Amino acid sequence: MALTKVDLVEKMITELNITRSEAFKFVDLIFETIKEKLEEGTHVKISGFGNWLVKSKHARMGRNPQTGTSMEISARKVVTFKPSQVLRDLINESTPSETSTPKVTSSNPSDDPIKF
């Protein structure tokens, strides 16, 4: 289930004991400020959470996967998000690592793999 603006408003109402209209104004103000800064091309950094960056992509040739015909993909700007190390650490604490493999040990030394 996704986190919505209404969820943020409800959290503000319960945590800060403010009215619904005030909470909506605060949430809207935060999002509008972030959007304005990104539109200006300014990076947005929220300490402990992450960074939003505006990157420019150059025009390039691409292929329509349905027809196979070549076409030009126009230049454009995209918004990317890079989580902070704090956020990455929090996320990785709560989920098991998918890349780690269990260490297999053997009682027979001749079964151990050769290390270079």
pTM of the model: 0.67
**pLDDT tens digits, one per residue of 70-111:** 999 999 999 999 999 999 999 999 765 555 544 444 454 444
Please answer whether residues 24 and 9 qualify as being in contact, where contact means their C-beta atoms are separated by less than 8 angstroms. yes
Q: Which residue has the higher pLDDT, 15 or 1?
A: 15
Domain containing residue 28: CATH number: 4.10.520.10
Strand partners, 61: 72
Please answer whether residues 44 and 51 qualify as being in contact, where contact means their C-beta atoms are separated by less than 8 angstroms. yes
- Residue 110 in domain: no
Is 115's pLDDT higher than 80? no
Domain extent, residue 56, equals 43-95
Same domain, 59 and 90: yes
- Residue 104 in domain: no
